[in-house]
């Protein structure tokens, strides 16, 4: 299986780093793109909004596969800067898809469970369920999905442009703020000394999924799609998720238990969305992994508590 090349966008990010690891550890030749953290060697500095920049890197690296992890993925940040978020999540994805399709490159576009409304009683969502984002972040990622699939369709290369939806991610982080899950570990520590109590959401159900597992699935999908002659027989949209379900408050409880810390400073907030908040969170966007299973892709995941116990054992001495 050697001699295969992959280019990972957003390779310096929480997910991108693990996608790089997944392909490298399985013998692929891997290059990544970054912007602020690019080293110019394994991580090439690319402005994804600049088509000629993207074209140059595709022609220099000649990948068979591009895994597109780069995105503005924090709902609050999308709301604060909608134009820049649309430019990256939609327009840069469209441009990348067009350039990849013209070169017969398989593109895996990483999307989100937030493309769904998450109304009580609707989950789990199959890949063909009707999307209905509740916030601008979900809408930009959905528009990005449509753009990618559309560009490949126009180029008559449908089987090469695919979408992989994932839920909230956790994993090895350079700073806790990289992940909406890792940052909760910080919250539990800070609550130990805090004067006032921290309110923590105990309404929306999350399915925290490990970045290592997503990396493996991206690799296995790349192999599957490259090796299948009749690509039109393969699905365009796939979904991957852990089955561990918990609210943010329950995640904090697990962290407190792992580290032997008190939960006294954290109170459960069961109110749900503040109707005046600009970002409305879905209640339950559980993604069905049936389409991946049907392809024979391994959908097993790290056990949440088990992974964190191994990760934080240093804190316990």
Same domain, 198 and 138: no
Q: Please write the tens of the pLDDT for every residue from 120-144.
A: 999 999 999 999 999 999 999 999 9
Claim to verify: residue 133 and residue 215 sit in the same structural domain: yes
219 and 254 assigned to the same domain: no
270 plus 147 within the same structural domain: no
Catalytic machinery residues: 137
**Are 120 and 89 within one domain?**
yes
Q: Which residue in the block uniquely carries the two structure tokens 């789990």?
A: 124
Task: Report whether pLDDT(74) > 60.
Answer: yes
The pLDDT value given to residue 1: 46
Looking at the fold, whether 84 and 225 belong to one and the same domain comes out as: yes
In tens, the pLDDT along 89-101 reads 999 999 999 999 9
Provide the number of structural domains found in the chain: 2
How high is the pLDDT of residue 317? 44
The range of the structural domain enclosing residue 92 comes to: 5-170+209-243+286-294
- What pLDDT does 132 receive? 97
Mean pLDDT, all residues of the chain: 94
pLDDT digits (tens, 9 = 90+) for 228-256: 999 889 999 999 999 999 999 999 999 99
How is residue 245 written in tokens? 């379900």
The pLDDT score that the predictor gives to residue 2 is 57
- What is the average pLDDT across 265-269? 96
Query: Are 122 and 51 contained in the same domain?
Result: yes
Query: Are residues 195 and 115 both part of a single domain?
Result: no
70 and 198 in a single domain? The answer is no
Say yes or no: 33 and 182 in one domain: no
- pLDDT above 50 (res 285): yes
Length of the chain in terms of residues written:
317
Report which of 6, 2, 1 is spatially closest to residue 218, judged by C-alpha positions: 6
What's the whole-model pTM score?
A: 0.96
CATH number at residue 260: 3.90.25.10
Q: Domain holding 75: CATH number? A: 3.40.50.720
Please give the pLDDT value at position 316: 52
Residue 315 pLDDT = 53
How do residues 153-199 score in pLDDT, each as one tens digit? Answer: 999 999 999 999 999 999 999 999 999 999 999 999 999 998 999 99
Can you tell me the mean pLDDT for 291-313? 95
Please tell me whether residues 181 and 86 are part of one structural domain.
Answer: no
- pLDDT for 279 beyond 90: no
């Amino acid at each position: 299986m050697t001699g295969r090349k992959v280019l990972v966008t957003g390779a310096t990010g929480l997910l991108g780093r693990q996608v790089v690891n997944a392909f490298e550890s399985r013998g692929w030749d891997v290059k990544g793109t970054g912007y602020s953290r690019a080293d110019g060697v394994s991580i090439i500095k690319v402005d994804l909004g600049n088509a000629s920049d993207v074209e140059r890197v595709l022609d220099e690296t000649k990948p068979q596969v591009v895994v597109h992890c780069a995105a503005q993925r924090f709902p609050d940040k999308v709301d604060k800067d909608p134009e820049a978020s649309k430019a990256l999540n939609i327009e840069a994805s469209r441009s990348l898809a067009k350039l990849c399709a013209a070169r017969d490159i398989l593109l895996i576009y990483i999307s989100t469970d937030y493309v769904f409304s998450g109304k009580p009683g609707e989950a789990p969502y199959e890949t063909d369920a009707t999307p209905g984002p509740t916030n601008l972040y979900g809408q930009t990622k959905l528009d990005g999905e449509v753009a990618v699939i559309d560009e490949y369709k126009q180029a008559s290369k449908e089987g090469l442009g695919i979408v992989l939806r994932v839920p909230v991610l956790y994993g090895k982080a350079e700073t806790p703020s990289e992940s909406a899950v890792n940052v909760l570990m910080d919250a539990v520590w800070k609550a130990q000394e805090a004067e006032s109590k921290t309110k923590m959401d105990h309404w929306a159900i999350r399915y925290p999924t490990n970045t290592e597992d997503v990396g493996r699935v991206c690799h296995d999908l790349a192999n599957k799609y490259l090796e299948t002659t009749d690509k039109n027989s393969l699905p365009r949209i796939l979904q991957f998720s852990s089955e561990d379900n918990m609210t943010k408050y329950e995640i904090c409880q697990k962290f407190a238990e792992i580290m032997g810390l008190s939960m006294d400073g954290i109170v459960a907030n069961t109110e749900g969305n503040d109707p005046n908040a600009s970002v409305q969170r879905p209640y339950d966007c559980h993604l069905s992994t049936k389409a991946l299973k049907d392809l024979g892709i391994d959908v097993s995941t790290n056990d949440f508590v088990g992974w964190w116990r191994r990760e934080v054992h240093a804190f316990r001495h």
